[in-house]
A and B are shown apart, each in its own frame.
Chain A
């Protein structure tokens, strides 16, 4: 993997591109129509997404179609879930500690 997945999705235009191609595959032209920027600018964003495999392309006849690659997205999701779980585990321990602190002070 060449590109950096987190860098790729940090940009709002690239997130919008992902949302668009997640619902259906699109040609570069169709995709560019959704944005106010130049086609060149959209192409650059597409390249960033393709570099980190969030987007794959397929040639259909003479046209290129861009597809969303959910595998990569899952990887990212997995990171976030683990990060969140880290906090949940920590807080569950704190819940227990607070219960212990409460019973300690009740005994006094």
Chain B
């Protein structure tokens, strides 16, 4: 079933934008909940072997979600999302940031604006994520980090495979 679910991923270099679109085999109510309720986000937001752990969440315009990405060795990367606009079961947007456990911004990293749009058709929900950066170097910075994480993840998966 997994392979039938469409995913689009593109980096729009001219507009400093990353576009991710993915279908989910569930009605919009459930998908919306998974993207907006911290106890559900904690279950999937971090790619394995990392885990997301919410410290606080206030899902309303002007509120924010403060969480840590916790690594297999217990290392913590804190991040937050400041919610800007919320249209229930349709879309929400926010500005992300790396920070410390108190939510104090890490100025070394660029912030980006996320706009997540949800549309349901025939019981399948498509989520479109647009991540808007100020400048292209910001995408590069995030990608380099994703690369490192991805590499760590790949090693983690290899460990699992070797245990079998």
**Residues in chain A within 8 A of chain B (CB atoms):** 4, 6-7, 9-10, 12, 78-80, 82-99, 101-102, 105
Report which of B45, B137, B143 forms a contact with A90, defined as CB distance below 8 A. Answer: B45
Q: Is the interface of B mostly helix, strand, loop or mixed?
A: helix
Report which of B14, B30, B139 forms a contact with A101, defined as CB distance below 8 A. Answer: B30
Task: Contacts A84-B9, A93-B48, A94-B44 given; indicate if A101 touches B147 (C-beta within 8 A).
Answer: no
Mark out the residues of chain B between 139 and 164 whose CB falls within 8 Å of any chain A CB in the assembled complex.
139-140, 143-144, 146-147, 149-151, 153
Please tell me if the beta carbons of B5 and A95 are within 8 angstroms of each other in the complex: yes
Known: A83-B143, A98-B24, A101-B30. 16 other contacts (CB 8 A): A4-B140, A7-B140, A80-B143, A84-B9, A85-B153, A86-B150, A86-B153, A87-B9, A88-B7, A91-B7, A92-B2, A93-B47, A95-B2, A95-B25, A97-B44, A101-B40
Q: Is B110 an interface residue (CB 8 A)?
A: no
Q: Is the interface of A mostly helix, strand, loop or mixed?
A: helix
Report which of A4, A9, A82 forms a contact with B150, defined as CB distance below 8 A. Answer: A82
In the assembled complex, which residues on chain A have CB atoms less than 8 Å from the CB atom of B146? 79, 82-83, 86
In the assembled complex, which residues on chain B have CB atoms less than 8 Å from the CB atom of A94? 24, 34, 44
Give CA–CA (A100, B136) in the complex, Å: 39
Give CA–CA (A95, B48) in the complex, Å: 14
Please tell me if the beta carbons of A82 and B140 are within 8 angstroms of each other in the complex: no
Please tell me if the beta carbons of A98 and B147 are within 8 angstroms of each other in the complex: no
In the assembled complex, which residues on chain A have CB atoms less than 8 Å from the CB atom of B7? 87-88, 91
In the assembled complex, which residues on chain A have CB atoms less than 8 Å from the CB atom of B144? 79
Report which of A6, A78, A84, A96 forms a contact with B139, defined as CB distance below 8 A. Answer: A6
